[in-house]
Amino acid sequence: MKQVLLFVLLVSALVTPVRAETIRWVDFDVPYESMKYALDQDILTAQQEKHISWVDTLALAACRTGGKCNISAVKTAVSDLKKDQSPEELLGDLYRYYVYYHEAYSAILGGLVGSYAIEKDGQWTAAYGLKAFSPIAAGYGYSHCDDFGASRSFGFRRRHLGNDLMGAQGTPIVAVEGGVVEAMGWNRYGGWRIGIRSFDSKRYYYYAHLQKDRPFAPGLEEGDLVQAGDLIGFMGRTGYSDRENTNNIETVHLHFGIQLVFEESQKECNSEIWVDAYDIVRLLSEHRSSIQKTADGWSRIYPYRDLDTDMFPI
């Protein structure tokens, strides 16, 4: 009887899938050109029998390049995925890295592309494509550079874990992706800031240094649901002070950060996973939300619905 029980336990151990270890670090080193090409192919094939997901493309290219994803490797990956071969068949021994890259890139890019609808002249028009927005509203200028990892000294020595977008005081800031307002208020480093968690809980978007006195969109509160492109606040230079509502940043700008959360213990700890958002911001610059100020306040010119979530059905 004991031998039978031991045999059953051994068989169960062999056939039961082993849970993959939680991802603890991600180096996102995918250039803008590679993301753009993968995105274009994703959109182009969306209605075809063989849909080439940009996450699949980039994960395949990353396995072959150690995460560098140069444009040549991405084009090859697209060509290979159009064939009747699986990533496992295409990669051979390199397939052992595919699960990691696919999970990591899905966490970073998972909410940026999909189905959405925009209302114009009383009619809703559905589309598939880039459904996330630039954090800077349409019609407002800004500049930025890849400053991720630069040193910071206020409070203590640390790395810069975001992308700074320089612009004019009061520039409207919008939600890059839909989600829940998880944090809102004053922080000695970020000044007036907002933290929004994506609906799948994988991404935490951090918007900091909002303007003094009127930093947030009127009526916005912690716990609110927002859609991609909704107004959330205004650019400023608050922060670097223990005194609330203080302008202590030299240059007006938005600090925009993306944190990945694979399990809740990673949300606020000493080993948080922040990724370089510079090339993502470049990609999103092609999709900007139109915001207008009226006598009743601020509103979107074109109402928007994310068709991949039931949070905001038409």
Residue 153: predicted pLDDT: 59
Which residue ranges make up each domain of the chain? Answer: 23-109, 131-306
Residue 11: predicted pLDDT: 37
Residue 310: predicted pLDDT: 65
Amino acid at 200: D
Decide: residue 277, CB within 10 A, 0-12 exposed, 13-18 middle, 19+ buried: buried
Q: Distance between CA atoms of 131 and 111, rounded to whole angstroms?
A: 8
Beta bridge partners of 187: 191
Amino acid at 253: H
Tens of each residue's pLDDT in the chain, 314 residues: 434 334 333 433 433 334 368 999 998 999 999 999 999 999 999 999 999 999 999 999 999 999 999 999 999 999 999 998 999 999 999 999 999 999 999 999 999 999 999 998 899 999 999 999 999 999 999 999 988 778 765 655 668 889 999 999 999 999 999 999 999 999 999 999 999 999 999 999 999 999 999 999 999 999 999 999 999 999 999 999 999 999 999 999 999 999 999 998 898 888 899 999 999 999 999 999 999 998 888 999 999 999 998 665 44
Cite the DSSP H helix spans in 83-124.
Answer: 87-91, 98-109
Q: Distance between CA atoms of 299 and 289, rounded to whole angstroms?
A: 11
Q: Distance between CA atoms of 221 and 169, rounded to whole angstroms?
A: 22
Q: Does 131-306 carry CATH code 2.70.70.10?
A: yes
Decide: residue 68, CB within 10 A, 0-12 exposed, 13-18 middle, 19+ buried: middle
User: Sign (positive/negative) of CA torsion 48, 50, 51, 52?
Assistant: negative
